[in-house]
Amino acid sequence: MAGVEVFAAEGKQGLKQFIELPYSLYRSNPYWVPPLRIAVKELLDRGKHPFYATADVEFFLARRNGRVVGRIAAILDKAHNQFHEEKAGFFGFYESPEDPEIARALLTRARDWLVQRGAEFLRGPVNPSTNYECGMLVEGFDSSPMVMMPYNPPYYPMLMEQAGLRKAKDLLAYVSTPDGIAAKKIERVADRALKTNRFRIRPINMKDFDAEVARVWDVYSRAWSRNWGFVPMSREEFFAMGKEMKQILKPELLLIGEVDGQMAGFALALPDINQALKPAGGNLFPTGLVKILYYQRLIKNCRVLALGVVEEYRTAGVAAGFYATLVRNSRRLGYDDCEMSWILEDNVLMNRSLEAMGARRYKTYRIYEWN
């Protein structure tokens, strides 16, 4: 069998090969959701996307017998390393067939590139940081991922372990159903917490969107700063993400928490746009946009992807107030299943709260390290 060659994905042709590989690897997988090619291209644009203002990235392809068979990105996230005072290197956008030789070649090339730039270990996958899709699915392969969550084949974790990578942290995903959620219980807890702490919850004001996003960015920076894996986002990066989300955002699902008129927390849920993206097959034209618009009306699920409260109110039951309001509003909007993700495995308070509400853990994602 011919050896594996790993090389930088250079120029338009290299980037195109990097983008296209998953569409062939997952062609027969019923659970994978093809992302829009135009969106992937924008995310990988090192000249324009604001993430790369504080990160050095190289995209690599693996080739055997003249055919591209794998890909990986090596990511030196300077914002992360400065904030955490460590010398981490990251990998992301990993894809390959079930072949240990290809996996090791890709991971070794990414690690070598990062070590040459001062990194002391490799961590991932992140695409391209924990603020985006991240983690490798290790449990819960029998359903499609919800919006902004990854999917991969069941053999990926085995490839990581055979290459020498070990678990750094697990990220958990919970799902609640209309029948399973203890709505009355959490509403009682929420009402008590909100009254006790003078906490007022309101929907985002879409007419003042930019100012609202600026307030959320400030709370995000404070509320998440002590979380494992937190990566500070620049104002430009945060606003770019807000602009993308605005296209599918429901005001009733982006909640602002205030105490005496000052923002003290927020919660964000998004309709599961993956249910509309899947039929489009990654293309807007010629028929993809029509399919997205049609299936967007039929979306029945949503995902809670962010819930943050400033430290002084974190143990006051305010999170229950957010969840109660999100559940109530999502039911009113006609959504059924609601995913809460991701939650750190050692966030005992949040995990217990979700389980007490009747949510069920149904997917596990893993961040790996390689020293």
Structure confidence at residue 177 (pLDDT): 80
Structure confidence at residue 95 (pLDDT): 98
Quick one: angle between helices 318-332 and 348-357, nearest 10?
40
pLDDT for residue 79 is more than 80: yes
**What's the whole-number mean pLDDT along residues 342-368?**
91
Q: Do 59 and 137 lie in a common domain?
A: yes
Tokens at 98, concatenated? 């079930």
* Tally of domains in the chain: 2
Tokens at 88, concatenated? 């981490």
Q: Do 163 and 182 lie in a common domain?
A: no
Structure confidence at residue 8 (pLDDT): 98
Question: What's the CATH code of the domain at 338?
Answer: 3.40.630.30
Domain edge (last residue) among 150, 169, 188: 169
Cis-peptide, bond into residue 32, ω within 30° of zero: no
**pLDDT band at residue 358 under the 50/70/90 scheme:** confident
pLDDT for residue 41 is more than 70: yes
Structure confidence at residue 182 (pLDDT): 64
**What's the whole-number mean pLDDT along residues 50-55?**
97
Q: Do 110 and 197 lie in a common domain?
A: no
- Residues 157-214: tens digit of each pLDDT: 999 999 999 999 999 999 988 666 666 766 676 677 667 667 788 999 999 999 999 9
**What's the whole-number mean pLDDT along residues 293-319?**
84
Residue of 174, 235, 221 whose CA lies nearest to 357:
174
Q: Do 95 and 212 lie in a common domain?
A: no
Residue of 307, 333, 339 whose CA lies nearest to 190:
307
pLDDT for residue 85 is more than 70: yes
**pLDDT band at residue 224 under the 50/70/90 scheme:** confident
The CA-based angle 198-202-204, given to 5 degrees, is 140
Longest dimension (CA), the chain: 69
CA 247 to each of CA 4, 206, 234, 266, 345: distance values in angstroms, whole numbers, following the listed order: 42, 12, 21, 19, 31
**pLDDT band at residue 261 under the 50/70/90 scheme:** confident
Per the CB < 8 A criterion, the answer to whether 213 and 239 are in contact is yes
Structure confidence at residue 310 (pLDDT): 85
Structure confidence at residue 190 (pLDDT): 66
β-pair type (121-124, 360-370): antiparallel
Tokens at 69, concatenated? 């068979």
**What's the whole-number mean pLDDT along residues 65-75?**
97
Q: Do 202 and 135 lie in a common domain?
A: no
Q: Do 87 and 117 lie in a common domain?
A: yes
Structure confidence at residue 96 (pLDDT): 98
pLDDT for residue 339 is more than 80: yes
Per the CB < 8 A criterion, the answer to whether 269 and 299 are in contact is no
**pLDDT band at residue 316 under the 50/70/90 scheme:** low
Phi-psi domain of 268 (left: phi exceeds 0; alpha: psi -120 through 50; beta: other): beta
Domain edge (last residue) among 117, 134, 169: 169
| Average per-residue pLDDT for the chain | 91
Q: Do 266 and 309 lie in a common domain?
A: yes
Q: What percent of the chain has pLDDT over 70?
A: 94
The CA-based angle 337-230-95, given to 5 degrees, is 70
Integer Cα distance of 219 and 229 in angstroms: 17
Q: Do 125 and 182 lie in a common domain?
A: no
pTM of the prediction?
A: 0.94
Q: Do 133 and 212 lie in a common domain?
A: no
Q: SS3 string of 95-148?
A: ECCCCHHHHHHHHHHHHHHHHCCCCCEEEECEECCCCCEECEEEECCCCCCCCC
Q: Tell the burial category of 114 from Cβ atoms under 10 Å away from its Cβ (0-12, 13-18, 19+).
A: buried
- Whole domain around residue 146: which residue ranges? 5-169
Q: Do 13 and 158 lie in a common domain?
A: yes
Structure confidence at residue 189 (pLDDT): 65
pLDDT for residue 105 is more than 60: yes
DSSP conformation class of 52? G
Phi-psi domain of 258 (left: phi exceeds 0; alpha: psi -120 through 50; beta: other): beta
- Residues 113-151: tens digit of each pLDDT: 999 999 999 999 999 999 999 999 999 999 999 999 999
β-pair type (338-344, 88-95): unpaired
Domain edge (last residue) among 121, 143, 169: 169
Structure confidence at residue 226 (pLDDT): 80
pLDDT for residue 325 is more than 90: no
Structure confidence at residue 315 (pLDDT): 61
Q: Do 159 and 208 lie in a common domain?
A: no
Q: Do 201 and 156 lie in a common domain?
A: no
